[in-house]
Structures are given as structure tokens and as C-alpha cells.
Amino acid sequence: MSMDLLEPREKRKPGGALQGLGVVDCDIHPQFATPGEILTFLPERWRDYVRTYGGFYRQPLADTLSHPRMAPDVARADSWPPGGAPPGGDLAFMQRQHLDANNVDHGMLMPLNRGPGNQRNLEYGAALATAVNDWQIACWVERDARLHASIVCTQEHPPFAIAEIERCAKDPRFSQIMLPPKSLEPLGRRRYWPIFEAAEAFDLPIALHVGGINGYPATGSGWPSYYIEEQHTNVQGMQGLITSMVVEGVFEQFPGLRIVLVEGGVAWAPPLKWRLDKHWKRLKSEAPHLKRLPSEYIHDHFWFTTQPLDEPPEDSDLLETFEQVGLDRIMFSTDYPHWDFDEPSFVAAKLRIGPEKLRAIMSGNARELYGLT
Amino acid sequence: MSKSRFVVARTSDVAPGTSLRVNAGGRDIALFNIAGAFFALGDRCPHESGSLCAGKIVGFAEADEPGKYRLVRDGEFVRCPWHGWEFDIRTGKSWCDPEKSRVRAYQTGVTSGSDLVEGPYVAETFKVSVEENYVVVEI
């Protein structure tokens, strides 16, 4: 008598402008089918190392999160595959529950697994980055061409990072470079410039997905008490990243660099532009390398993803805010299979815009940025 | 329009403390069993349309002040599997957004026996009765 929960329910409310539109999802999290799956992608030396010592971040308790999440594995309660893999760890299930069901034409993989960029043992971090990159291709992109891999690397040691970027960049199955937003120094600092140089040379966007390891306090005065507080620090974190990269002069040095902010939301961006512009007008003698208004660098170099969608009391306020950010700079994302997933029809219903602008946000902007068909 | 009655499940199909998705008259319905009593909600969260029968059945945590917490009405709420919006299984009332609750609650004309503050969203509710050993939903 029980119905398969993946069987489609009654017809959804009319899709309107979404009808027939294949979306681009800029944030999908793949997971290892089993904890040991990644070991098969590591050389024996590092398999042995992991078995003997394990990974080590800049934090106690490797592989833990700073706060208990809304749900086990940060996942939608209905995203646990019946075969026993964790959420995001079973491609067939992901296809049925998300890629097919939500008409996803292209999905950008955001592997958060094991954080190669934050491993303190740099050689292990580099081997792990290679393994995660190879795993994305073998277990995901090769099995479903809708999916696109992101190059993970060891940002704290640019020579290793660049070697990995060079190894992967010519493979079109990789669409971008992914760096953790929490790094030893603010990301605009010059120690990271060789990575930006490589990204620009290979014409690959850099994705910065919120979160990162908990060895870095989420606020200027430490770790907050509640998950709800920690969730909001994603906004401060994104504002700090933008400010660092703009003010350090990254975009004067690398005018072709494109940055994608993933899962940080959107609505906080206009006031950041206003304030930085105001400060720059009075303080520009301190940073004379900046030739333009901070807001201009931001518009030219940053792309924003929609999830978790800002939900003001009036839907019209959302559209107005998006227009201030720039409708050409906002790209749809779901965060599948995580608990704060956004469904395409929900985002379309909240935005209430004409079909052309909706098409840009749900699909067109990302196709253009990543050169997708 | 007169209401129709649909036989949707045997009572034994839904054990106490569990839920089941059924279909009645083309509508997907999440059927719940709380200690032998059956309740039905539209199987669609009013927020982003998550399937409520895939949600966890929970109690409601409340606090009069910081540091004083209690769990009440254990097993009488369903938590949407996506964003965790919680609904009273008996009435379909949401407890997610107390700020606006009174207005929306009065508009729907639903009275709650509970002294909890009611939320503004109402999942579609259906009257359920047990006849023989079948669950019947009235739409």
C-alpha cells in the first residue's frame, strides 16, 4: 500500500515561465558512496597514511562541523538513498530525485569532501585534491554528462595548487576552480595571487562556497553559540572575501578573473557596494592602486548564486534587490542534497519576473559564464 | 459542492507514530497515525512543496525564557524534510512563524485546542474517520 516517495506526486502548480526550461544548478554536493571510496583514488603511500594517521585540519576532531546542523549530514530528510549510501552518494538516486525531477540541464559539482585545501600536511592535501578531482570525473561526470567538476587544490601552497590546476584545466569536464573561503589569510592577499594568475590564464572561474573548516572562528570574537548564528556568518564571510579581493587590488592585477560566490545569498550585496564606495571616496589615498569604484569591480568580477534564497516579506523587494545586484550576475542554485535546498519552481514563483530575465537567472547567466551549451 | 469520501488505507498500513502517502481523488495526502487516531494533511509543504510524509514526526520545543526549555506534544508534529517547517498533524497549522500567526489563523477560522501560538500557514486538511478497519478520507 505504501507509495514510493520518489514517485511524482500530483501535478505541480503550473510551471509558468519555467515550462520546458532546463535549469543550470550551480551548487550540487556529491558525496563518497562509502567513507573508503576515496581511498581507491589515492596512491598507496597516502592510503597507508590515512589509515595510520588520518587527515589533520587546523582544528581538533577532524571531519567534524563546528555546529550540529539542522539535520543529520546537513541533508534533506528525504535524500537518504535506499541503498545505504549517504545523501549525495548515489548517482542514480540523485538523478531521479533531483536532476531528472527538476529538469537540470547542467549541474556544477561542489565537492566539500575532506577539504584538501585545508589539510595541514601539504603533500597529503595535494594527493587528496588529485584524488577528489579524479573521483569527480570517474564517479560522476563520466556517468552523467550533465554534471561538471570543480578543481579542488591546496591554496596554502600555490605551487601544488597550480600543478593540480594545470593537470585538470585542459579537461573540459572541469568548469571551474574551487577554493575554500576560509584560508590562512584573507583571500585577496598576495600569497594566493599565483592561483588567480592560473585561473585567469586558463579562463576558469573560481568558486567560493561558504563554510569551510571550523578551525577559523566564524566571527571576529569567536564561535557563535547557535547554528542559526553560524548560518548568518556566511554573509559576513562573503562580505569579507569581496572586500579583501577588491581592496587588495586583485582585479587590477587580474582583470579577467571571475569569482562565483556559492551559497552566500544575494541581498546583502547592494549595501556593501554603497558602503565601500563611500569609504573609497574618502580613503582612496590609502589604496591608490584602486582605479575604479569598489562597486564597479564587484559588478565586473563577482557572480552570485540564489540559494538560500532571501525571503523578504514582500516578494517585490526580492526582485528590486536582485536588480540592484545586476540580473546578469545572479545564477540559480539548489544546494542539493542539503537541508536548505531551493526548488526551481519556488525561486521562479518568488522572483515574479518576465520569462527572459527568469531564463537568465535560472539558466542563461551560468551557461554564459561557464561556456555551456 | 458535496464532499467525497475515499478509502485510502487499511488501519494496519499506518502504524502508530508513522505516516503514509496515499492518493484520494487525485490528491496526494500524507496520512498519520497518532496513538491510533488518524489524521491527514495535503502532502505538500506550503513553503517549497516538500513532501510532508517524508518528514520526521516530532514534538514541539518551547521556552518561556532563555535556558528553560521543554518538549511538548511529542509525536504530534511533522517536520518538513527540507527546511524543517513544523506542522500540527491534528490541524495542519504551522508553528514556523509565530509573528504572523494570529492574523492568518483567524482568517482560516480554524480553532485550535492548543494554547501554543499558531502559525500562518495551513496545509490542506482532510477529515478522516475509521470505518471498519479502513481509513477513509473526506475531501
As for the ipTM of the complex, it is 0.79
Query: Which range of residues forms the domain containing residue A49?
Result: 16-370
Q: Between A and B, how many residue pairs show a Cβ–Cβ distance under 8 A? A: 58
Written as nine digits, the cell of A259 is 569569482
In a domain, A8, yes or no: no
Chain A residues closer than 8 Å to B84 by CB = 70-71, 339
Give the mutation candidate from B21, B49, B82, B86 for the A interface (greatest A CB count, under 10 A). B82
For residue B95, the domain's CATH number is 2.102.10.10
Written as nine digits, the cell of B123 is 496545509
Query: Which range of residues forms the domain containing residue B110?
Result: 5-138
Residue closest to A202 by CA, chosen among A136, A154, A155, A257: A257
- pTM of the shown model: 0.89
For residue A143, the domain's CATH number is 3.20.20.140
DSSP single-letter state for residue A2: P
Cβ(B6)–Cβ(B136) below 8 Å: yes
Query: How far does A126 lie from chain B, in Å, by closest CA?
Result: 35
Cβ(A269)–Cβ(A325) below 8 Å: yes
Chain B residues closer than 8 Å to A1 by CB = 9-10, 13, 20, 22
Written as nine digits, the cell of A363 is 539558466
Place of cell 500562518: B120
Does B81 contact A342 at a Cβ distance shorter than 8 Å? Answer: no
Q: How many Cβ atoms from other residues are within 10 Å of residue A170's Cβ?
A: 8
pLDDT in tens, chain A (373 residues): 345 666 666 555 545 668 889 999 999 999 999 999 999 999 999 999 999 988 888 777 766 776 777 788 899 999 999 999 999 999 999 999 999 999 999 999 999 988 899 899 999 999 999 999 999 999 999 999 999 999 999 999 999 999 999 999 999 999 999 999 999 999 999 999 999 999 999 999 999 999 877 788 888 899 899 999 999 999 999 999 999 999 999 999 999 999 999 999 999 999 999 999 999 999 999 999 999 999 999 999 999 999 999 999 999 999 999 999 999 999 999 999 999 999 999 999 999 899 999 999 999 999 999 999 8
* Number of domains within chain B: 1
d(CA A233, CA A230): 5
* Contact status of B36 with chain A (Cβ, < 8 Å): no
Query: How far does B97 lie from chain A, in Å, by closest CA?
Result: 12
- Which chain B residue has its CA at the smallest distance from A79's CA? B81
Q: Which of A3, A9, A77 sits opposite B56 (nearest CB)?
A: A77
* Number of domains within chain A: 1
In a domain, A265, yes or no: yes
In a domain, A124, yes or no: yes
* Contact status of A77 with chain B (Cβ, < 8 Å): yes
In a domain, A76, yes or no: yes
Chain B residues closer than 8 Å to A339 by CB = 82-84
